[in-house]
Copies of this chain bind each other. A is one copy, B any other.
Amino acid sequence: MNISDTPQGAETALPASELAYKRIRDDILKGALRGGDRLIEQRLAIDLGISRTPVREALRRLTLEGFVERGSGYSTRVAHLDTSEVDQIFELRALLEPYAARGAARHATDEQIEMLRNLAEQMRDLTPARTDDDYNAISEMNETFHRTIYEASGSPRLVYIMASVIDIGTVARTYHRYTDRDLERSAAHHQEIVEAIEARAPDWAASAMTSHILAAQACLHGMMR
C-alpha cells in the first residue's frame, strides 16, 4: 500500500554483504588499506560489526575483481598494483571504454544522456578542485560517469567486466594529485563525450573516449616517475 519502508535513514537498509564489499573496496581505493596488507575475515567482521559470512562473500568478490590476492596458504592480502599492472589496466580501458562509448552513442536513453550531462557539468564546475572535498567529489562523479556509459552501452556483460578495470586510476590519487591542467582537460573530454553521445555519433564518442583514457594514462605515467 504505502511506499512502506525506507523510512529516512538509508543506512539500515543495505545488506551486510554489500556493506562489507563497499567498505573494504573503498578502504583499498582510498589508500586506508595498502597493497600487501593482510586481510583477516574475523578482524574485518569485528571491525564492521557483522559476522564472517558476509565478509567472506565480499572478499571472494574482491578477489575475482582483482582488488584482493589470495596466496597459497592462509594469506589473503590487498593486491599490490605495480607500475606495469596499472599500465596494463589502462591498456584494457583504452580497449573497452571506447567500445562502450560507441555503444552508448547508439543505445543511450535520454535519461542516461541527461545524467551524463549533469555529471559532466558538475565536474566542470568543480574544476579546478580547490579542496580535498572537491577532489573526492570529482573522483566519485568520474566513476559514476564512466559506469553510466558502460550501462548505456547496451552490453550487460561489460558492466561486470568494468568493475575490475575502472577505479584503478582512483588508487593513484593517493600517490599524487592531478595538475589543474590535467583536470581541465579531463573535464573538457567529459563534455565532448557527452556531446558525441547526444549527437548519436559513435565514432566521435569512441575517439573522444580514447583521447580521454590515453591522456589519463600519460598523466599517471608522469606522476609515477
Contacts and interface: CB of A to CB of B under 8 A. Distances in A.
Interface of A: 53, 56-57, 60-61, 64-66, 85, 88-89, 91-92, 95-96, 99, 154-158, 160-161, 164-165
B66 A160 contact: yes
Given A60-B61, A61-B64, A85 B156 contact: yes
Interface centre among A53, A91, A155, A157 (most CB of B within 10 A): A157
Contacts of A57: 56-57, 60
Contacts of A96: 95
Given A64-B64, A92-B155, A160-B164, 13 more contacts: A53-B53, A57-B57, A64-B65, A66-B160, A88-B154, A88-B156, A88-B157, A91-B155, A92-B161, A95-B95, A95-B96, A95-B99, A157-B165
B158 A92 contact: yes
